[in-house]
Amino acid sequence: MTPRVDRRFAILLPLALIAGCASPRRRSFSGTPVLRPVDAKAAAAAISSYRRRSGLGAVRPDQILTTAAEQQARAVAAAGDLSHGDFAGRMERLGQDAAWENLALGPTTIAGVIQLWRESPGHDRNLLMRDATRIGIARVDAEAPYWALVLAR
């Protein structure tokens, strides 16, 4: 007698394995995440230069968006998980009607994190949002640097 394999199991097992590989893993970090200074003007200049090459306008640093980015960078570093959470709700509470967010883990420089975002289609699309005019950017170090960038109209 040949063993029978339930077709649902045969389909679900590979999908579960793939999903497990794609899921961001929580990282253990026993210390306190530390907010690191980021040169927002340099970040805005680098992002603006990239946007101009695509025929788009410049962006400038914004303190409200920087505060939002700092809060999100702290949250993802503390959780050890790159999650946008209730981004729309956070932006609504700040009075922002058109905003986008990029998160990253790993790069140690502004140039490095912008390059990482440029290489990711979804993040790149945010960098090149036509309506974006302001940014807030933050870095919080835990087991590695966590970055948050908020762009808004």
Instruction: Residue 53: give its domain's CATH number.
Output: 3.40.33.10
User: 54 falls in which pLDDT band (50, 70, 90)?
Assistant: very high
Helix (H) or strand (E) holding 111: helix 110-118
- On whether residue 114 sits in a domain, the answer given is yes
- On whether residue 29 sits in a domain, the answer given is no
Q: Given a cut of 80, is residue 135 above it in pLDDT?
A: yes
- On whether residue 40 sits in a domain, the answer given is yes
The answer to whether 51 and 128 are in contact (CB under 8 A) is yes
- What's the confidence (pLDDT) of residue 29? 55
Residue type, 37: P
User: 138 falls in which pLDDT band (50, 70, 90)?
Assistant: very high
Q: Given a cut of 60, is residue 78 above it in pLDDT?
A: yes
What's the half-sphere exposure (Cβ side, CA atoms, 13 Å) at 36?
Answer: 16
- What's the confidence (pLDDT) of residue 24? 43
- On whether residue 12 sits in a domain, the answer given is no
Q: Given a cut of 80, is residue 25 above it in pLDDT?
A: no
Q: Where is pLDDT greater, at 27 or 47?
A: 47
Domain residues for the domain of 135 are 35-152
Structural domain count of the chain: 1
- On whether residue 147 sits in a domain, the answer given is yes
The answer to whether 135 and 60 are in contact (CB under 8 A) is yes
- On whether residue 46 sits in a domain, the answer given is yes
- What's the confidence (pLDDT) of residue 43? 98
pTM of the model as a whole: 0.78
- On whether residue 4 sits in a domain, the answer given is no
- On whether residue 120 sits in a domain, the answer given is yes
